[in-house]
């Protein structure tokens, strides 16, 4: 069954039509890629899922509850977690703290005053965080302040921060943008590895190499509408997609 159901979503900015009658079903366990040329409305669509934008009409249902009109932290608590295009991490804190904080959100909920608790009393969280850091390959720098990390490391850290929350649905906004080929490949490997955990993922991506290495299903967005949807192989041969990409040399 579909874990995320997007039905007839419309969004206009002033006179500009950003999304038009978008329908999308994401199956549980899938890696669903959304591709499309610049300005097609991919990020707008993603923003509608996490409460950053509210569609003018239409509905976004996650596990049969609406994601519209509720606050970002509630969406997260429901299990929808987002990786941003520019890494959003806690720059002034250490890597370990960065990963521990989301773990607290998972275990303690949206708000809890545990002001008298010592951090060390929460060994379970600490162990888990160290484990995740190991997974993303940053365990050596666990006590380093994040602002000194490279961009690629920041992205991996953010991914780790999202993973520790055991999301049901992970939204990845261009996870490899601006990365070198080597970094991209290691990120793909990482995403594949976490793919084994059975987390449903939506990936927005320009790099078709990444898309076709990961995606189990692809939707193509152009000028605010879904023009095609299907398995990677179907999309590869789709003439409408080729047209949308103006010759589609990459494909």
Partner 1 sequence: MSKKDLSVEYSTILIFALAILTMPIWLSPIGAGYPDLLQKFVIYGIFAVGFNILFGLTGYLSFGHAAFLGIGSYATVWSFKLLGMNVIPAVIFSIILAGSFAALIGYITLRRSGIYFSILTLAFAQMCYNLAYSVLTPITNGETGLRVLKTDPRIFDHLFGRGQVDGPLLTDLFGIHMTGYPGFYFCAILLIITYYIAMRIKRSPFGMMLKAIKSNQTRMNYTGFNTRPYLQTAFIISGMYAGLAGSLLAITDPLAGAERMQWTASGEVVLMTILGGVGTSLGPVLGAGLIKYFENIFSSYNDNTLHAALSFMPDWLNDVLTIIISPFVGSGWHLTLGALFMIIIIFLPGGIMEGMGRIIQIFKPNKPGGSTKTASQG
* Residue 118 binds partner 1, judged by CB under 8 A: yes
How does 154-187 read in b/e, with b if 16+ C-beta sit within 10 Å? bbbbbbbbbbbbebbbbbbbbbbbebeeebbebb
* Residue 114 binds partner 1, judged by CB under 8 A: yes
* Residue 175 binds partner 1, judged by CB under 8 A: no
CA distances from 175 to 17, 45, 203, 231 (A): 26, 16, 8, 21
**Interacting residue with partner 1 among 115, 182, 246, 249 (CB under 8 A):** 115
Minimum Å gap between C-beta 88 and partner 1 is: 4
* Residue 63 binds partner 1, judged by CB under 8 A: no
Q: What is the dihedral of CA 105, 74, 162, 117, to 10 degrees?
A: -10
Stretch that binds partner 1, among 6-14, 33-41, 115-123, 172-180 (CB under 8 A): 115-123
**Interacting residue with partner 1 among 42, 82, 156, 201 (CB under 8 A):** 82
> 118: Cβ–Cβ under 8 A, 6 or more apart, which residues?
none
How does 94-111 read in b/e, with b if 16+ C-beta sit within 10 Å? ebbbbbbbbbbbbeeeee
Minimum Å gap between C-beta 11 and partner 1 is: 20
Tell me if residue 125 falls in helix, strand or coil.
helix
Toward partner 1, which CB reaches closer, 174 or 229? 174
Nearest to 176 by CA among 147, 208, 136: 208
* Residue 122 binds partner 1, judged by CB under 8 A: yes
Please tell me the count of residues contacting partner 1 according to CB under 8 A: 45
Strands 217-222 and 31-35: parallel
* Residue 85 binds partner 1, judged by CB under 8 A: no
For 171, phi then psi, to 5°, come to -105, 120
**Interacting residue with partner 1 among 1, 113, 182, 246 (CB under 8 A):** 113
* Residue 127 binds partner 1, judged by CB under 8 A: no
* Residue 154 binds partner 1, judged by CB under 8 A: no
Given the rule CB under 8 A, which residues bind partner 1? 50, 71-73, 76-77, 81-82, 84, 88-94, 97, 100-102, 104-106, 108, 110-120, 122, 126, 141, 143-145, 147-148, 161, 165
């Amino acid at each position: 069954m579909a874990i995320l159901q997007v039905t007839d979503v419309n969004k206009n900015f002033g006179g500009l039509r950003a999304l038009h009658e978008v329908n999308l079903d994401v199956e549980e366990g899938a890696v669903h890629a959304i591709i499309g040329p610049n300005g097609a409305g991919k990020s707008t669509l993603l923003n509608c899922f996490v409460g950053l934008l509210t569609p003018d009409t239409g509905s976004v249902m996650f596990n049969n509850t609406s994601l519209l009109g509720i606050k970002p932290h509630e969406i997260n608590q429901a299990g929808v977690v987002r990786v941003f295009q520019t890494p959003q991490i806690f720059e002034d804190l250490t890597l370990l703290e960065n990963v521990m904080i989301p773990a607290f959100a998972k275990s303690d909920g949206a708000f809890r005053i545990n002001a008298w608790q010592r951090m060390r009393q929460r060994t379970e969280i600490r162990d888990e965080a160290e484990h995740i850091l190991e997974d993303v390959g940053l365990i050596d720098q666990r006590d380093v302040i994040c602002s000194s990390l490279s961009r690629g490391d920041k992205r991996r850290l953010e991914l780790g921060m999202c993973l520790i929350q055991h999301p049901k649905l992970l939204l990845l906004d261009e996870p490899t943008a601006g990365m070198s080929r080597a970094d991209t490949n290691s990120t793909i490997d990482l995403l594949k590895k976490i793919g084994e955990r059975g987390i449903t993922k939506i990936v927005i991506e320009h790099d078709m190499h990444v898309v076709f290495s990961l995606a189990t299903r692809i939707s193509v967005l152009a000028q605010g509408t879904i023009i095609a949807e299907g398995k990677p192989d179907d999309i590869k041969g789709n003439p409408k997609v080729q047209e949308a990409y103006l010759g589609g040399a990459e494909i």
